[in-house]
Amino acid sequence: MPEERGPIDWDALQTVERVFRDRLDGLVTATEYVPNAIDPVELRLSIGTGFDADSSRFDVQWWTNHGYKYHYGERDLEFRFGWEIRPTSRYPEKHFHPPENPSAHRESCIAHEEPELVTLAVLACWWNALEADDPSILNATENPP
């Protein structure tokens, strides 16, 4: 499957970082391109707030042909929005791994495929749930952003 997705999309990762910084206005406490900025595989964004913690992190991957992963983690909570085209999969291409069962694949409320719009949608879902202090509504926003 990795070869079907293509290499990591550097421009998409830069767009994701810009949108996080623009929208979260100072809550992004650190960014890291892993393993490095020359040949990144993943963008890690440390955030200065969370549901049950003073900090959290989004690990983001984007591929050139198709697909993304936005994995959120903090002390005892994790979830993921993803897009993977698998010819023989029984899972939805655009899916959500909920905090109560991170191995489950639910249909994602995010329909977009452009880095800026997907990032805005992920942030809208996260922020709405964070403000409500209710991780169960992370995938409940209708057609975000």
H or E stretch covering 57: strand 56-62
pLDDT digit string (tens) for 15-28?
A: 999 999 999 989 99
Q: Would you state the pLDDT for residue 87?
A: 65
The reply to whether 145 falls in a domain is no
| Nearest-angstrom CA–CA distance, 91 and 31 | 31
Residue matched to tokens 């290499």: 7
pLDDT digit string (tens) for 65-91?
A: 889 999 999 988 999 999 987 766 788
Q: Would you state the pLDDT for residue 28?
A: 97
Q: Would you state the pLDDT for residue 39?
A: 86
Number of domains in the chain: 1
Rounded to 10°, the helix 10-24/115-132 angle is 40
The reply to whether 87 falls in a domain is yes
The reply to whether 144 falls in a domain is no
Q: Would you state the pLDDT for residue 94?
A: 93
Distances 114 to 12, 64, 75, 105, 131 between C-alpha atoms, Å: 8, 11, 30, 21, 26
pLDDT digit string (tens) for 94-115?
A: 999 999 998 899 999 999 999 9
The reply to whether 142 falls in a domain is no
Range of the domain at 34: 2-137
The reply to whether 23 falls in a domain is yes
Q: Which amino acid is present at 26?
A: G
The reply to whether 143 falls in a domain is no
The reply to whether 60 falls in a domain is yes
The reply to whether 49 falls in a domain is yes
Q: In a 3-state reduction of DSSP, which class is residue 94?
A: strand
